[in-house]
Amino acid sequence: MKAFVVTHYGPDGLKAAEVPAPTVSPRDVLVEVRAASINPLDKMVRNGEFKQLIKYKRPFALGHDVAGAVTHVGADVTEFKVGDEVYSRPRDLRIGTFAEQIAIDASDVALKPTSLSFEEAAAVPLVALAGWQALVDLADVRPGQKVLVHAGAGGLGSTVIQVAKHLGAYVATTASTKDVDKVRALGADEVVDYTSTDFADVLAGYDVVLDSLGLASLEKSLTVLKPGGLAISVVGPPDPHFATQLGRPVLKPVMAVMSRKIRSRARKLDVRYSFLFMKASGAQLKTLAALYDTGTLRPVLDRTFPFAATIDAMAYVEQGKANGKIVITR
């Protein structure tokens, strides 16, 4: 089958290739890919930023989001049947949605929201799971709390704003001048135009900050939290808990060193820091599907590319100009 695979780590490491059809284990469903979306995580994996932590055997197909139809179910699968329309963020070491087919553990799969097209559904899994796990599982956001979401017009930020509003939070976000109306329409209560204003000069007393921009933004974000507040980063540095999540506790000392500066800074300000690397979860995708079908959440797409233009789609994402998710269609 056709797929886009990482042959070597680096900016030019993604190539089109013919690869064997997936092997379907007893707890797997085989999914014919109708659409997949691109995330910053794809670039990070392609470039080898996690190669010491998540050991993929090259060449491997890239891609973390998928929507498609089930064409085969493993012997032990009872939740799905052939023909089901599903969506998923496959677990680490089993990614590969930039392909014609993918075998996915059934625990990572949910029925696609019926109100969404395959293209829309493919834009959802990773960012929706990240938003849910950050605000519900990690931060336990309650009604009336204040949440700051950076880069609110992006694929992740636009989803997190909506999840935070669903949870009853007061939401602030950062965005460029051209995107102010867009993020307000998503539910943001306060918008800081980063082209003219430093968010740290105008925001204070926040319970939670979700940062996806990097260390400079993260360090500044600590200062807008109230005592006991929580800063969550999806780009690092990884903290010792991440080693536990990976099942490699031996790496805890390494990750403690990597995140020592930011954790120390947080302690001095009487706030907290956590790194989030989202986990695959079909159960949570089922919960989120209901929110999309009621209109509580909606996907935000920038544009689509044909499957053959996957490398061009990756390049477009890396330009940093996308307002929403980039989707590959077959």
pLDDT digits (tens, 9 = 90+) for 59-106: 999 999 999 999 999 999 999 999 999 999 999 999 999 999 999 999
Is residue 108 within 8 Å of 88, Cβ to Cβ? yes
Q: List, in sequence order, every residue forming a beta bridge with 212; answer none if it has no partner.
A: none
C-alpha distances out from residue 288 to 8, 53, 54, 132, 245, Å: 35, 29, 27, 8, 22
Tell me which DSSP letter residue 308 carries.
G
pLDDT confidence of residue 248: 85
pLDDT confidence of residue 50: 87
Length of the chain: 330
In the structure encoding, which two tokens stand for residue 153, read together? Answer: 């017009």
pLDDT confidence of residue 174: 98
Q: Please tell me whether residue 37 adopts helix, strand or coil conformation.
A: strand
Domains, the chain, ordered by start: 2-124+299-329 (3.90.180.10), 126-275 (3.40.50.720)
Give the residue ranges of the chain where pLDDT is below 50: none
C-alpha distances out from residue 27 to 76, 79, 204, 279, Å: 5, 10, 48, 18
What is the C-alpha to C-alpha distance for residues 43 and 290, in angstroms, rounded to an integer?
30
pLDDT digits (tens, 9 = 90+) for 7-54: 999 999 999 999 999 999 999 999 999 999 999 999 999 999 988 888
Q: What is the pTM of this model?
A: 0.95
Q: Among 288, 300, 329, which residue's Cα sits nearest to residue 133?
A: 288
pLDDT confidence of residue 246: 81
pLDDT confidence of residue 251: 86
State phi, psi for 297 to the nearest 5 degrees.
-120, 150
State phi, psi for 156 to the nearest 5 degrees.
-75, -50
State phi, psi for 81 to the nearest 5 degrees.
-135, 165
